[in-house]
Amino acid sequence: MYPVLFHFGSILVPAYGASTAVGVLLTLFLAQRTARVPGLDAGKVWNLCVVALFAALIGSRLLLVLLNLGDLRQHPMWMLGLAMIHHPLLEGFGVLAAAAAAFSYGRWQRLPLWSTADALAGPVALGLAFEQLGALLAGSGYGIEPRGIAAHWSVTYTHVLAARWSGAPLGVPVHPVQAYAALAFLTLSIFLLFWLPYWRQPGDGFGLFLLGVGIAVFVTEFWRDPEGRGTVFGGVLNGPQAAAVVLVVTGGLALLERKRPEVKDEAPND
């Protein structure tokens, strides 16, 4: 595939970073429209997304530095290559950092929790689709070797940077599992965006988002190479699948009927 989209002299533009950046921009701009459906302040939602984005970037890179502090002390120039490293642990930590930052900012700005989560569900799902598209081009989170009819739509990585940056095997046909995940996230995004005005109660969209993402991650992991993804329960599940189970359970809890409707926090009148 194409880990590098193009380059200006010695400056490379990686496919993963470019695709993810497009996904982030689409998420930000789309969130401005979805925020208006439940009557949210679009400016505050924009700021929340930016805060979450920076928290994810800083949190994941900081964890990577801490895990490799000894090597970086000996080879400080390796810091320049940290942006090329992708790993499920880093992604998971980045998601947690983003969620914590978004929740804190939302509470500070008195944004209603469930309505804000509903408004962001569809745009974030679209962003995840573009992230997986970038992963497909770069070879990150590559698949296992296909069998039978699946060999007809397999992909083969030949660029040396796909192996250097993502560890993708060169010259070996593998499942385009990132494309499977991208299609699942895109379908989820379209569904959530279409049904946003029709949720029965605040939190339904967010609950379905968690369910959809959890199911997509759990299923597609069966076609991903297990290298570096960890094992849980004696190898019954890998790390991302265990996280997917948590997402599904959390999504189911979010869909439960709540006794009292959500009340938007407002400053007291003078």
Would you say residue 127 lies in a domain? yes
Would you say residue 159 lies in a domain? yes
Would you say residue 22 lies in a domain? yes
What's the distance, Cα to Cα, between the start and end of the chain in Å? 62
Would you say residue 212 lies in a domain? yes
- As beta bridge partners, residue 12 has 7
Domain total for the chain? 1
pLDDT at 9: 67
pLDDT at 270: 45
Would you say residue 199 lies in a domain? yes
Regions of the chain with pLDDT less than 50: 78-80, 260, 263-267, 270
Domain that residue 189 falls in: 4-40+112-254
pLDDT at 76: 58
Would you say residue 103 lies in a domain? no
What angle in degrees, to the nearest 10, is found between the helix axes of 204-220 and 113-138? 20
Would you say residue 75 lies in a domain? no
Between CA 25 and CA 166 the distance in angstroms is: 24
Between CA 48 and CA 106 the distance in angstroms is: 7
pLDDT at 74: 64
Phi–psi pair at 195, nearest 5 degrees: -95, 0
pTM of the shown model: 0.84
pLDDT at 178: 93
pLDDT at 235: 75
Q: CA 111, 35, 114, 133 torsion: positive or negative?
A: negative
pLDDT at 100: 92
- Polymer length of the chain: 270
pLDDT at 17: 81
Would you say residue 167 lies in a domain? yes
Instruction: Map residue 171 onto helix, strand or coil.
Output: coil
